[in-house]
Amino acid sequence: MTRQRTLKSQVHSTGIGLHSGRKVNLTLRPAPENSGIVFRRTDLTGSPHLSARPDCVGDTRLSTTLSKDGVTISTVEHLMSAFAGLGVDNAYVDLDAPEIPIMDGSASTFVFMLRSAGLVEQNTVKRYIRIKKSVEVNDGDKTARLDPYDGFRLSFGIDFHHPAFTADLQQCEIEFSSLRYEKEVSRARTFGFIRDVEALRMQGLALGASLENAVGLDEFRVLNEDGLRFKDEFVRHKILDAVGDLYLLGSPVLGAYHGYKSGHDLNNRLTRELLSREECWEYVTFEKEGHAPISFVPLTA
Ligand SMILES: [Zn+2]
C-alpha cells in the first residue's frame, strides 16, 4: 500500500521572521501516524499547538496565518509547500516566534531540511483527497478552482503590467511529482515591489524583508544583482504558494488546480468551500504500491 510518511530524525535551523525581522529557531520532528502537520509555539507557556487545517487559518492578507485562541503562527505556506512537495503526512513543527522564518523566500531551505532529516514510511495507509466535481471561488476577476483530474496538475495566471512581467512569463502549468516540484517550483522566491515594502514598514511589517529573501522590483526592473532563478519565477512562486495552501486540506489532492490572480485568501476560501461540499470530494487510498497517480520522492533519494 501507499503509506504515510514522516521524518526519520529531527532537524533544526534558524532564520529571521519576514515581518518582525527577529531570529526564529525552527525544529522539524517526526510525528505519529494520522497526526498531520502540527505547529507548536515553544516560546509560550504550555507550548500551545495549532493544526494545519483550513478552518484554523486566520489572517491571509500577506501570508497564510494559523490562528486559535489568540495564538498565531504566520507565513506557514512555504513550509507547508515543502511538506506537500515531498509527501510528508505527519510532522511536528516547533518554533519560538509567531512566524515561520522566511529563509531565502522560497521553499528550498525547507526541502533541504527534510532531505537532511530523511523520510520514513509509517504503518498506516496514506489518504488522498480526490476531486469528484469542480469547485470554484471568485473575487472580482480573481479565480481559484479545483477540477477532477487523475493526477495533480497546477496552472496559474498572473496579470502584472510591468516591464519584468512580459506576456509569455505570466502563465505556468506543472504536472506534479516530487522531483518536478523540487526542480521547477521549490526554488522560486517570493517577490515584492519596493514601494509596497516601504508602505508595510510604516506599519511595522516586512521589517525582515530584503533582497536576501525576496525578488525586489522597482518600477522598471528586478533589483537583485543575480537576477531571477527562472524567467517566470514570479508565477512559479504563485504555484509554490498554492501547493502549500492546498496542503492545509491535510492530504495530497488528486485533481487539477487553476488559479488566476489568486492569493492566500482565495486559496483558503477554495479549501473551505471544497470541504463544505461533500459531494465534490472523497478520500481515496491505494492498496498497491505504485498505483497512486502521483509520485513522491523515493525514500532512499
Ligand atoms: Zn509565497
Residues 40/93, Cβ–Cβ less than 8 Å: yes
**287, pLDDT greater than 70:** yes
**161, pLDDT greater than 90:** no
Taking the centre of ligand 1 as the mean of its atom positions, its distance from the CA of residue 9, in whole angstroms, is 27
Taking the centre of ligand 1 as the mean of its atom positions, its distance from the CA of residue 104, in whole angstroms, is 11
Q: Which cell numbers hold the place of 47? A: 507550548
Residues 19 and 102: their CA atoms lie apart, in Å, by: 9
Taking the centre of ligand 1 as the mean of its atom positions, its distance from the CA of residue 237, in whole angstroms, is 6
pLDDT confidence band for 149 (50 / 70 / 90): very high
Taking the centre of ligand 1 as the mean of its atom positions, its distance from the CA of residue 241, in whole angstroms, is 5
The proportion of the chain whose per-residue pLDDT surpasses 90, expressed as a percent, equals 82
Q: What are phi and psi of 231, to 5 degrees?
A: -60, -40
Amino acid 299: pLDDT: 78
pLDDT confidence band for 300 (50 / 70 / 90): low
**160, pLDDT greater than 90:** no
Amino acid 298: pLDDT: 80
Residues 125/2, Cβ–Cβ less than 8 Å: yes
The proportion of the chain whose per-residue pLDDT surpasses 70, expressed as a percent, equals 99
Mean pLDDT of the chain: 94
pLDDT tens track for 96-144: 999 999 999 999 999 999 999 999 999 999 999 999 999 999 999 999 9
The two beta strands, 37-41 and 91-95, are: parallel
**Cα within 13 Å of Cα(175), Cβ side:** 6
Average pLDDT value for residue range 81-107: 97
Average pLDDT value for residue range 10-16: 97
Cell 512569463 sits on residue: 169
Residues 7 and 116: their CA atoms lie apart, in Å, by: 9
**248, pLDDT greater than 80:** yes
Residues 154 and 94: their CA atoms lie apart, in Å, by: 30
Amino acid 19: pLDDT: 87
Taking the centre of ligand 1 as the mean of its atom positions, its distance from the CA of residue 123, in whole angstroms, is 33
pLDDT confidence band for 62 (50 / 70 / 90): confident
How open is the CA angle 206-170-227, to the nearest 5 degrees?
A: 55
Residue 75's contacts (CB-CB under 8 Å, 6 or more residues apart) are: 17, 18, 19, 63, 64, 65, 99, 100, 102
Average pLDDT value for residue range 23-52: 96
Rg from Cα positions in the chain: 18
Q: Which of 19, 237, 258, 264 is catalytic?
A: 264
Average pLDDT value for residue range 52-59: 88
Average pLDDT value for residue range 182-204: 92
Amino acid 289: pLDDT: 78
Active site residue 264: yes
**301, pLDDT greater than 60:** no
Taking the centre of ligand 1 as the mean of its atom positions, its distance from the CA of residue 45, in whole angstroms, is 30
**172, pLDDT greater than 90:** yes
pLDDT confidence band for 77 (50 / 70 / 90): very high
pLDDT confidence band for 230 (50 / 70 / 90): very high
E strand or H helix at 239, and its extent? helix 233-246
Residues 284 and 125: their CA atoms lie apart, in Å, by: 10
**184, pLDDT greater than 90:** yes
Residues 96 and 105: their CA atoms lie apart, in Å, by: 19
Lowest mean pLDDT among 40-54, 142-156, 157-171, 217-231: 157-171
Cell 522598471 sits on residue: 220
Lowest mean pLDDT among 84-98, 117-131, 160-174: 160-174
What letter would DSSP give residue 34? T
